[in-house]
Amino acid sequence: MNRRESGEACRVDIRIHILDENDHAPKFTESGSYVVTVKEDAPVGALIGKVHADDEDLGVNRKVRYTLLTVVGSSGESMIDDQFGMDGTSGVISLLRPLDRELVSQYNLSIQATDDGIPPMSSLAHMRIILMDVNDNPPVFAFNYYSASISELAPVSSEVTRVLATSKDIGINADITYDIVGGNGYNHFGIHPKTGVIFVSAPLDYERVKEYVLAIRARDGGTPPLASQALVNITLIDMNDNSPVFNVDSYSVEIPEDAPIGASVMQDAYHHQPCILL
């Protein structure tokens, strides 16, 4: 008998399980390009940054592990692997050794994310770590001791010499200001706060002061500021600027009529030069 004619029917439910294939590689956020800034005085163990990758597969195929592949410094040379550490599960990058911006100003890291599929699939990301300058280098003078000489008749504003100090820091931390902190009791000299040029600021007189030893300070603009000092020895050159002066305007002496030729008649107390009878 035809079941269709009798109106009888049956239904069978079929459940189909689709097994996941590992056909998706992990995909990093931030398009796989991360930029991080960190102060150069960050303590060892500090959190530097974090990467994250998602995998569209299921189960074990979406479990992601992270690996730090290479670390390249700003000089282009591969760095020692123990500068940074990476947690393979969380993607957290931490500092393992102290930083120094004056040696390496930035790092470029290559990071790999790999899933647990068979065969495993992976993708790469890059992180640029830029070091922020900290005022950790005091100014350094080109010389610790300078010497110069100048005529005692040099006019005010005449340049005597120039000092120079530099800093390994950058920005305001390397903005250096100069001042005189010692040896200028008569205020005979000044210094330009930015150029370091030392100049005459008051009339000089060799007969009063023949030599000066100035203490010059170089201070940077950091917070707190760092400073260093150098000494500048300035010797005055004597000029013929004083005419002979007699003690009195006129002299009166008595000479015996039988005084021999060459006998001393008198001696001026100021010049200590005897007057000779010719």
pLDDT of residue 197: 98
- pLDDT tens for each residue of 108-158: 999 999 988 888 888 999 999 999 999 999 999 999 999 999 999 999 999
> 0.85 cut: is pTM over it?
no
Determine how β-strand 33-39 pairs with β-strand 122-132: parallel
Is-contact 52 148, C-beta < 8 A? no
Domain finish residue from 82, 110, 132: 132
Average pLDDT over residues 256-269: 69
pLDDT of residue 268: 59
pLDDT of residue 134: 93
147: CATH? 2.60.40.60
Residue 258 sits in which domain range? 243-278
pLDDT of residue 22: 61
Determine how β-strand 227-237 pairs with β-strand 145-151: parallel
Query: Please, is 236 exposed, middle or buried when counting C-beta atoms within 10 Å of its C-beta (0-12, 13-18, 19+)?
Result: buried
Domain finish residue from 78, 101, 132: 132
- Scanning 101-203, the segments in alpha helix (DSSP H) are none
CA–CA separation, 110 vs 251, rounded Å? 100
3 in a structural domain: no
- Domain tally, the chain: 3
pLDDT score of 18 more than 80: no
Eight-state DSSP code of residue 30:
G
pLDDT of residue 176: 97
Domain finish residue from 132, 155, 177: 132
- pLDDT tens for each residue of 227-244: 999 999 999 998 865 656
Cis status of the peptide bond prior to 224, with omega within 30 of 0:
yes
Cis status of the peptide bond prior to 119, with omega within 30 of 0:
yes
Answer with the residue of higher pLDDT: 170 or 1.
Answer: 170
Is-contact 97 82, C-beta < 8 A? yes
198 in a structural domain: yes
Q: Are residues 31 and 127 in the same domain?
A: yes
145-151, strands of its sheet edge to edge: 145-151, 227-237, 211-219, 177-182
Q: Are residues 248 and 204 in the same domain?
A: no
Q: Are residues 111 and 197 in the same domain?
A: no
Query: Which two structure tokens, joined as six digits, stand for 25?
Result: 């590689």
5 in a structural domain: no
Q: Are residues 233 and 256 in the same domain?
A: no
Q: Are residues 117 and 192 in the same domain?
A: no
Give phi and psi for 204, each to the nearest 5. -100, 160
CA–CA separation, 185 vs 163, rounded Å? 20
pLDDT tier at 278 (50, 70, 90 boundaries)? very low
Query: Which two structure tokens, joined as six digits, stand for 43?
Result: 């303590």
